């Protein structure tokens, strides 16, 4: 069974600062993706960043980057220059197998303070 | 086409009633997924379609739940004899092969 653990239920950061959200996963799949989605209040899920597990280079998307440690099964998200619009629930997860269904963690509520 | 749409956005029903939700995926996306999200939790997988074929169902999907995707386009999720434990947000997502899944806004179900 696939499990994803996000150990930080809530975090806060000051605007313009950097914050790191933690995530560990456990999958039996050999080919899989890892991802972070954000869910702003009362809005739909949006993909923040995705990493193919076979790639060693960490994925980056503008202010968002990941630290992928395959052996440790760790996949943390770093948000640089935090903005008020980054306030949201962030879900880490993995996707694999023939159907690529997503398995999510319980989420981390990030609040960016002015 | 602006994305995945779901209808209705909110549904309030009494216990024991049947409800049906609709999802319209992004056109040309051959994969469609249904997830359920309860308060304070991440979404949990319910079922998956590739084109019109339902290829996987979660054990969360009891026999009161049924999903269809006729002609590989829109999909419906029906819950029969609703229970209070069915109250949740029901999310639909679509993708092209194994690429990014795009989510709809969800249908929030409240069972009284």
d(CA A10, CA A3): 20
pLDDT 10s digits, B47-101? 999 999 999 999 888 999 999 999 889 999 999 999 999 999 999 999 987 678 9
Question: Which tokens hold the place of B87?
Answer: 């109250």
Nearest to A29 by CA among A54, A5, A51, A48: A54
Which residue would you say has higher pLDDT here, A63 or B2? A63
The helices-and-strands tally (H runs, E runs) of chain A is 0, 12
Instruction: Count Cβ atoms below 10 Å from residue B16 Cβ, excluding itself.
Output: 10
Cross-chain CB nearest to A50 (options B43, B91, B100): B100
Question: Which tokens hold the place of B2?
Answer: 């602006």
pLDDT at A43: 84
Task: Note whether A101 contacts B48, CB cutoff 8 Å.
Answer: yes
Burial class (CB in 10 A: 0-12, 13-18, 19+), B109: buried
pLDDT 10s digits, A12-33? 999 999 999 999 999 888 888 9
Counting every residue, how long is chain B? 112
pLDDT at B8: 97
- pLDDT category of residue B1 using cuts at 50, 70 and 90: low
Question: Which tokens hold the place of A95?
Answer: 């996707």
d(CA B16, CA B39): 22
Which of B43, B44, B88, B106 should one mutate to test binding to chain A, selecting the residue with the greatest count of A CBs within 10 A? Answer: B43
pLDDT at A27: 87
d(CA B70, CA B44): 23
A45 contacts in chain B (CB < 8 Å): 43, 91, 93, 103
């Amino acid at each position: 069974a696939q499990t994803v653990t996000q150990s930080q239920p809530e975090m806060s950061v000051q605007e313009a600062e950097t914050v790191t959200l933690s995530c560990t996963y456990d999958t039996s799949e050999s080919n899989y993706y890892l991802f972070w989605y954000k869910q702003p209040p009362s809005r739909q899920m949006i993909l923040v960043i995705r990493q193919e597990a076979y790639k060693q280079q960490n994925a980056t998307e503008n202010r968002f980057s990941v630290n992928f440690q395959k052996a440790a099964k760790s996949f943390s998200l770093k948000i640089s220059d935090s903005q008020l619009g980054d306030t949201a629930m962030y879900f880490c997860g993995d996707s694999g197998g023939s159907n690529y269904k997503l398995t999510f963690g319980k989420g981390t509520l990030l609040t960016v303070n002015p | 086409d602006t994305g995945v749409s779901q209808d209705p956005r909110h549904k309030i029903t009494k216990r024991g009633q049947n409800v049906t939700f609709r999802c319209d995926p992004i056109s040309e996306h051959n994969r469609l997924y249904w997830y359920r999200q309860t308060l304070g939790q991440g979404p949990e997988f319910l079922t998956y379609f590739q084109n019109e074929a339902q290829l996987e169902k979660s054990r969360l999907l009891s026999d009161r739940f049924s999903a269809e995707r006729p002609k590989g386009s829109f999909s419906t999720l029906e819950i029969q004899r609703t229970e209070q434990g069915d109250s949740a947000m029901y999310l639909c997502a679509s993708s092209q092969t194994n690429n990014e899944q795009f989510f709809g806004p969800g249908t929030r179900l409240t069972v009284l």
